[in-house]
Chain A
Amino acid sequence: MIKDYLYYLGQIEKKQLKPEDYLKNILDNIKKYENDVHGYIEIFKSELNVNEANPLSHLYVALKDNILYKGHFQEASSRILENYVSTYSATVVERLIKNGANIIGRTNMDEFAMGSSTEYSRHGPTNHPFEHSLIPGGSSGGSAAVVAYGGANFALGSDTGGSVRQPAALCGVVGYKPTYGVLSRYGLISFASSLDTIGLIAKSVRDIRYVLNFLKGKDKHDSTSIDIDIGKDIIDLKHIRFGIIKEFKGFGDIYIWDKFFKAVEKIGKKAHIEEVSIKDIERTIAIYEIISMSEASSNLARYDGIRYGKSVKAQELKETYMRTRALFGKEVKRRILMGTYALSSENYRDFYEKGVKARSQFIKEINRAFKKVDILLSPTTPYLPFKKGERLKDPLLMYKADTFTSYANLAYIPSITIPLEGIYAGLQLSAAYKNDNLLLEVADEIQRL
């Protein structure tokens, strides 16, 4: 039995647990872990409310530092947005609050969500919740870590290439990236618009499904948002066809693969599993890098020191721009430069345009796979949590963290990670476009096996 939010909610309803004790427990965890983990940048203790009777009462949500909450600091962990105060709330935050949830604090992240270890933050790194010398994954490392140690019972992150699933896997919690558009991006600080999704982190799949119902759906502020149904279908695993992605096999850590196949074995007792080949899926990371960096170079153009955020004044306008934009961290600068290069008229055809073509080709490939199977299986990450600082000098190695995750963003499809037993890694399940309901039902069943 996982002691998740819905479990405690039941206890509170049955009066077996006092709401204030539940909150105290969470705050105690923060006291106990936070000094070593550093998952939070800020905690809104005085704003918490324990006594409301709303659908999402007693939900204490940790917000990644790139999701806007009116009247609060939001910095995307960047010096360029130092002390920026949100003038409005993200649609998902509005919907959380409308349904009685509490925002407990904002969590650390890689600057502008660019990174896989939560080391590129102006606030310093977040540590793995249980192995403090290791990284928690990223870029939503803060959100994953605080849910893992019980400092929040729910968290919002953002997943552009794996930034929710990857840290969730490394911290041993559930991380879900919905179909593109299911959660409004309004109020999410853009990294790569065609890949960005807000993602949910919790202890259990059922918590995620429960909360998702209140957050999902079309938003008049985001014209790429869509509606989907999340119903309660009873699913028998024996009718589900699982496919292990052949091309990923053997890549990365053998311990992870070992545990992965143990999980597969368990599922295999209930369901049909086969191996599927999806042409070039192992190379989608390259497409992901071109598209995400190109869009990032555009999305980050607004940080110019003219209207808000930090500004370094100079005599000449150009100098103001240069000095202000020098506040971006190294990794962000690197990606802006590469994205600018890929979009320049000289290189557009060879990079951005090729990337877009390859993406639509890949979507055809993956749709073909979903004719054969319902759920794609793979480990969530190729690597276990590594030592802090270890990969800062090797960005290409760092980028490989997204190898198993970014294809879902490219294909706009839903994907979820659930913990693998006995290891800081996850089992990743992906479903076809808009099949979030099926994905969550199946993942829930598997988590309970």
Chain B
Amino acid sequence: MKYKDYELTIGLEVHAQLSTRTKIFCSCKNETDAEPNTNVCPICLAHPGTLPIINKHAVELAIRASLALNAKINMRSAFARKHYFYPDLPKGYQITQYKYPLAENGYIDIQDKRIRIKRLHIEEDAGKLIHNKDATYVDYNRAGVPLIEIVSEPDIHSVIDAYRYLKELRLILIYAGVTHGDMEKGEFRCEPNISIRKKGEPLGTRTEIKNLNSLKAVRDSIAYEVERQLKLLENNEKVVSVTLLYNEKSKKTEIMRKKETAADYRYFPEPDLPELILTKDMIEKEKENIQLLPAHVREKYEKFNIDKDFIEVIVEDRKSRQFIENVLKVYNNPKSVVSWILTDMRGYLKQTKQTLSSFNYKDIALLIKLTDSKKITKQHATKALSFITKEHKPIEQLLKEQNLIIQEISSKDKELIKKLLSLESEAVEKYKKGKKGIIGYLIGRVMSETKGKLSPSKVKEIVISLLEED
């Protein structure tokens, strides 16, 4: 932070939609992007006389999330009602957990830091307002979608840590199969609160930012808000407790509402739901359901001595990871497989706007193997990507047909090289005078003349021996 006398504290409240088949208190589909108000029933519309029934799978996923976040699970927890009036909240209260959350005291590690998690609890999502020119509409498809809320301890003191915490939290929850985690769709949402104090003083006034639908927006909005608060403090002005909206276009936060009086949510225990009592079996079952976490993937690839940046790509991108894992089953050379797929192949895919899914991992494994054993050049391996998906022939046959297989150097080739060298007398002279670097140019000439069919290292051997001969 650029102003040394200050300390920044960021609190993060994260909401993740659980990937259940149905909503948390009724049997409507948990599918928020359907046609508005098609996944609704008397219960989630809060018709008179309806009662909530807890979705067991939502509880299971919340347990799983708690385990993945190293939190202490409360064998007894309870639901409460949180009251406020808003059109997207059908009952006039949200069913949440208040005094007795599902889990407490967790943590996640981000690089060298440990960020503690204060609590994790289960609650229901609200509907969504849709503003039109003429009116405001409410879509209740989202009302009653199961959520977990995860609240961090005030351990985050920089924007980058906030960013890393969120990124890792999201990955952990996705790995555990708890949420789909798509931020654009609102499946993973974050509301940061930011306060700045002079070192040694009590915590400053907090402001809260809403409407963030990407990690980048979270990072940029916090950075903007930090600057805004610092400016106020430097000018001896007060930070006012406000809720801010982030405008992704202008990259600025705007004041949504002032919190003049603290909202009184009138929490009280939900009388329609009994206490949530867990069994050891439920927890054991969820332990088994966590098969892989980001940390496991990192550990595995670190053992292969793979570049840190590559590892992060593998951790974050499930499709790449699965593809690489498949390729490794056929050709177990992690270093070259990872590097080729994530550089050469990735570049090609980007250029041609294709995805990994159009390729058979066995073909790719073979291509990398052939490259490693110097049967084809790296460039030709990339070139092969353009036709191996179109033709249903064995890949080696295709490569031969396309003349991409590196050939043994024949006496005829040797003659050709000799001839080429004689035409490049100027370069040869330079080489002999000690400018050894020019050999690259000479090899290039041979390679282009032979259309890359020869092994560059073999060519180099021959060129050197011919040059030294004289």
* A447: chain B residues within 8 A (beta carbon): none
Asked if A307 and B46 make an inter-chain contact with CB atoms under 8 angstroms apart, the answer reads yes
**What's the minimum C-beta distance from A239 to chain B, rounded to whole angstroms?**
35
Asked if A304 and B92 make an inter-chain contact with CB atoms under 8 angstroms apart, the answer reads yes
Report the stretch among A221-229, A261-269, A271-279, A281-289 that lies at the interface.
A221-229
Also in contact, A343 and B42, with CB within 8 A (given A81-B48, A190-B49, A307-B90): no
A86 to B48, CA, bound (A): 8
A223 to B92, CA, bound (A): 21
A199 to B274, CA, bound (A): 22
* A304: chain B residues within 8 A (beta carbon): 85, 87, 92
CB-CB nearest in chain B for A352 = B268
Tell me the residues in window 113-141 of chain B with beta carbons closer than 8 Å to chain A beta carbons. Answer: 138, 140
Asked if B264 and A344 make an inter-chain contact with CB atoms under 8 angstroms apart, the answer reads yes
Asked if A301 and B91 make an inter-chain contact with CB atoms under 8 angstroms apart, the answer reads yes
CB-CB nearest in chain B for A189 = B48
**What's the minimum C-beta distance from A104 to chain B, rounded to whole angstroms?**
20
**What's the minimum C-beta distance from B256 to chain A, rounded to whole angstroms?**
15
A173 to B271, CA, bound (A): 31
Interface string of B47-64 (1 = CB under 8 A from A): 111111110000000000
Asked if B53 and A301 make an inter-chain contact with CB atoms under 8 angstroms apart, the answer reads no
A223 to B53, CA, bound (A): 6
Interface string of B264-292 (1 = CB under 8 A from A): 10101001111000000000000000000
Tell me the residues in window 35-87 of chain B with beta carbons closer than 8 Å to chain A beta carbons. Answer: 42, 45-54, 81, 83, 85, 87
**What's the minimum C-beta distance from A109 to chain B, rounded to whole angstroms?**
14
* A321: chain B residues within 8 A (beta carbon): 85
Query: In this assembly, does A298 line the interface, its C-beta being within 8 Å of a C-beta of chain B?
Result: yes
Query: In this assembly, does A29 line the interface, its C-beta being within 8 Å of a C-beta of chain B?
Result: no
* B49: chain A residues within 8 A (beta carbon): 66-68, 86, 90, 185-190
Asked if A223 and B42 make an inter-chain contact with CB atoms under 8 angstroms apart, the answer reads no
Query: In this assembly, does B331 line the interface, its C-beta being within 8 Å of a C-beta of chain A?
Result: no
CB-CB nearest in chain B for A78 = B48
Asked if B138 and A221 make an inter-chain contact with CB atoms under 8 angstroms apart, the answer reads no
Asked if A301 and B92 make an inter-chain contact with CB atoms under 8 angstroms apart, the answer reads yes
Asked if B53 and A220 make an inter-chain contact with CB atoms under 8 angstroms apart, the answer reads yes
The number of chain B residues touching the other chain, given as a range, is 20 to 34
Tell me the residues in window 312-344 of chain A with beta carbons closer than 8 Å to chain B beta carbons. Answer: 317, 321, 340, 343-344
Main secondary structure on B side of the interface with A: loop
CB-CB nearest in chain A for B26 = A221
Tell me the residues in window 179-207 of chain A with beta carbons closer than 8 Å to chain B beta carbons. Answer: 185-190, 192-194
Q: Output the residue of B42, B92, B273 with the most chain A CB within 10 A.
A: B92
Query: In this assembly, does B6 line the interface, its C-beta being within 8 Å of a C-beta of chain A?
Result: no
A298 to B92, CA, bound (A): 8
Query: In this assembly, does A22 line the interface, its C-beta being within 8 Å of a C-beta of chain B?
Result: no
Also in contact, A87 and B42, with CB within 8 A (given A187-B49, A220-B53): yes
* B52: chain A residues within 8 A (beta carbon): 223
Asked if B51 and A185 make an inter-chain contact with CB atoms under 8 angstroms apart, the answer reads yes
Query: In this assembly, does B93 line the interface, its C-beta being within 8 Å of a C-beta of chain A?
Result: yes
Query: In this assembly, does A302 line the interface, its C-beta being within 8 Å of a C-beta of chain B?
Result: yes
Asked if A301 and B85 make an inter-chain contact with CB atoms under 8 angstroms apart, the answer reads yes
CB-CB nearest in chain A for B25 = A223
CB-CB nearest in chain B for A344 = B264
**What's the minimum C-beta distance from B124 to chain A, rounded to whole angstroms?**
14
Asked if B46 and A222 make an inter-chain contact with CB atoms under 8 angstroms apart, the answer reads no
Query: In this assembly, does A441 line the interface, its C-beta being within 8 Å of a C-beta of chain B?
Result: no
* B264: chain A residues within 8 A (beta carbon): 344-346
A90 to B49, CA, bound (A): 8
Asked if B48 and A84 make an inter-chain contact with CB atoms under 8 angstroms apart, the answer reads yes
CB-CB nearest in chain A for B84 = A301
Asked if B83 and A298 make an inter-chain contact with CB atoms under 8 angstroms apart, the answer reads yes
Also in contact, A343 and B266, with CB within 8 A (given A301-B91, A302-B46): yes
CB-CB nearest in chain B for A196 = B271
Asked if A186 and B50 make an inter-chain contact with CB atoms under 8 angstroms apart, the answer reads yes
Asked if A308 and B266 make an inter-chain contact with CB atoms under 8 angstroms apart, the answer reads no
A255 to B138, CA, bound (A): 58
Asked if A87 and B92 make an inter-chain contact with CB atoms under 8 angstroms apart, the answer reads no
Also in contact, A298 and B48, with CB within 8 A (given A220-B53, A221-B53): no
Tell me the residues in window 116-150 of chain A with beta carbons closer than 8 Å to chain B beta carbons. Answer: none
Asked if A301 and B87 make an inter-chain contact with CB atoms under 8 angstroms apart, the answer reads no
Also in contact, A294 and B48, with CB within 8 A (given A221-B53, A301-B83, A321-B85): no
Query: In this assembly, does A168 line the interface, its C-beta being within 8 Å of a C-beta of chain B?
Result: no
Q: Output the residue of B46, B48, B50, B53 with the most chain A CB within 10 A.
A: B48
* B83: chain A residues within 8 A (beta carbon): 298, 301, 343
Partner of A295, one of B46, B51, B271: B271
CB-CB nearest in chain B for A222 = B51
Asked if B271 and A74 make an inter-chain contact with CB atoms under 8 angstroms apart, the answer reads no
* B90: chain A residues within 8 A (beta carbon): 302, 306-307
Asked if A223 and B271 make an inter-chain contact with CB atoms under 8 angstroms apart, the answer reads no
A263 to B356, CA, bound (A): 87
Asked if B53 and A308 make an inter-chain contact with CB atoms under 8 angstroms apart, the answer reads no
Also in contact, A223 and B54, with CB within 8 A (given A301-B85, A302-B90): yes
Also in contact, A306 and B266, with CB within 8 A (given A223-B274, A321-B85): no
CB-CB nearest in chain A for B88 = A306
Asked if B45 and A308 make an inter-chain contact with CB atoms under 8 angstroms apart, the answer reads yes
* B140: chain A residues within 8 A (beta carbon): 307
Asked if B50 and A298 make an inter-chain contact with CB atoms under 8 angstroms apart, the answer reads no
* B54: chain A residues within 8 A (beta carbon): 223
A74 to B42, CA, bound (A): 14
Asked if B87 and A223 make an inter-chain contact with CB atoms under 8 angstroms apart, the answer reads no
* B266: chain A residues within 8 A (beta carbon): 297-298, 340, 343-345, 348
Asked if B271 and A221 make an inter-chain contact with CB atoms under 8 angstroms apart, the answer reads no
Query: In this assembly, does A76 line the interface, its C-beta being within 8 Å of a C-beta of chain B?
Result: yes
Partner of B87, one of A66, A187, A317: A317
**What's the minimum C-beta distance from B44 to chain A, rounded to whole angstroms?**
10
A50 to B447, CA, bound (A): 100
* B46: chain A residues within 8 A (beta carbon): 302, 307
Asked if B85 and A68 make an inter-chain contact with CB atoms under 8 angstroms apart, the answer reads no
Also in contact, A298 and B87, with CB within 8 A (given A221-B53, A222-B51): no
* A90: chain B residues within 8 A (beta carbon): 49
Asked if A224 and B53 make an inter-chain contact with CB atoms under 8 angstroms apart, the answer reads no
* B47: chain A residues within 8 A (beta carbon): 87-88, 307-308
Tell me the residues in window 147-193 of chain A with beta carbons closer than 8 Å to chain B beta carbons. Answer: 185-190, 192-193
* B92: chain A residues within 8 A (beta carbon): 298, 300-302, 304
A81 to B90, CA, bound (A): 15
* A295: chain B residues within 8 A (beta carbon): 268, 271
A224 to B275, CA, bound (A): 10
A189 to B49, CA, bound (A): 4
A304 to B268, CA, bound (A): 21
CB-CB nearest in chain B for A68 = B49
**What's the minimum C-beta distance from B272 to chain A, rounded to whole angstroms?**
5
* A298: chain B residues within 8 A (beta carbon): 81, 83, 92-93, 266, 268
Asked if A306 and B50 make an inter-chain contact with CB atoms under 8 angstroms apart, the answer reads no
**What's the minimum C-beta distance from A440 to chain B, rounded to whole angstroms?**
26
Asked if B50 and A74 make an inter-chain contact with CB atoms under 8 angstroms apart, the answer reads no
A193 to B271, CA, bound (A): 6
Tell me the residues in window 334-377 of chain A with beta carbons closer than 8 Å to chain B beta carbons. Answer: 340, 343-346, 348, 352
A48 to B90, CA, bound (A): 36
A343 to B81, CA, bound (A): 11
A90 to B51, CA, bound (A): 11
**What's the minimum C-beta distance from A390 to chain B, rounded to whole angstroms?**
31
17 pairs of residues in contact across A and B, judged by CB atoms under 8 Å? A66-B49, A186-B49, A186-B51, A188-B49, A189-B49, A193-B271, A194-B271, A222-B51, A223-B53, A224-B271, A297-B266, A301-B93, A302-B90, A321-B85, A340-B266, A344-B264, A345-B266
Residues in chain B within 8 A of chain A (CB atoms): 42, 45-54, 81, 83, 85, 87, 90-93, 138, 140, 264, 266, 268, 271-274
Closest 10 CB pairs of A and B: A301-B92, A193-B271, A343-B266, A194-B271, A187-B49, A189-B48, A302-B46, A68-B49, A306-B87, A302-B91
Apart from the given pairs A185-B51, A193-B271, 11 other A-B contacts in the complex at a CB distance below 8 Å: A88-B47, A185-B49, A187-B49, A188-B49, A192-B271, A221-B53, A223-B273, A224-B273, A298-B93, A304-B87, A348-B268
